[in-house]
A = this chain, B = another copy of it.
Amino acid sequence: MKHKLRRGISATLEWMTTADPPSSLRERRKLRTRQALAETALALFSEHGFDNTPLDTLLEEVEVSRRTFFRYYRSKEDVAFTAVKWFWSTFLPVLDETEKSGRLADILRDAVLATLDRMDEEWYPRFSATLELIERSPALNGHSLRHCAEIQAEIRRRIGAPDSLEARLLVEFSVTTWRGALEEWLPEGAPGDLPRCVQRAFAAMDRSLRVQVCSPESPEA
């Protein structure tokens, strides 16, 4: 039963990180319907909105039965998250390869940047389309935040650091900062800008704890 919790990530890793072209004809067919589902879903959801697109529409379009769909993806939300999952499934191995010395915040930031470097051109438009989708649908937003929580747990497991409260907070802060970078990047959406946004966000993270506020009565900085 524990498998169920981890299956999401490990099963994803299983077929995403193996770059070997699937020799078997059967495997190639499976991969094709997988991608067809993900692509068509992203297109349909982007056009009509996530909540206004019944799953049946997607199923008719790809000509797949409902039963089959749920053998590929666990939920309607899941099929919209391919680009996001692809990012994190690349990130985790990158993090494993990273030499872990210095400030944990810097390590995570650099791993994010290195991961971005590995994304190909096709990924960026799909990713930003997914982000827009998430922003406009509460259901997807919840799914996204839950997914981030899973990622955080996985990151904590992989960095050899002690499971202190500080370390846990920092991992959460870093993922939050990553989301902040995305929010700044999204309106423009130029692929080259994303690393810069990440840099700026992580720099802002350092400053944020020292942010001062003053009442309207005493309005000096």
With a CB–CB cut-off of 8 A, which chain B residues contact A11?
none
Given contacts A142-B146, A146-B138, contact A213 B180 (CB under 8 A): no
Classify the interface of chain A: helix, strand, loop or mixed.
helix
- The 8 A CB mask of A159-198 against B (1 = contact, 0 = none) is 1110011111110110011001000100000000000000
| Interchain CB contact under 8 A, B213 and A107 | yes
Count of chain copies? 2
A206 at the interface (CB under 8 A from B): yes
Interface size bucket, A side?
35 or more
- The 8 A CB mask of A181-221 against B (1 = contact, 0 = none) is 00010000000000000001100111111111111101000
| Interchain CB contact under 8 A, B210 and A169 | no
Query: 10 tightest CB-CB pairs across the interface, nearest first?
Result: A145-B145, A142-B142, A142-B146, A170-B208, A166-B208, A169-B208, A104-B211, A165-B204, A166-B204, A172-B176
Q: Measuring CB to CB, which residues of chain A are less than 8 angstroms from any residue of chain B?
A: 5, 99-105, 107, 138, 141-143, 145-146, 149, 159-161, 164-170, 172-173, 176-177, 180, 184, 200-201, 204-216, 218
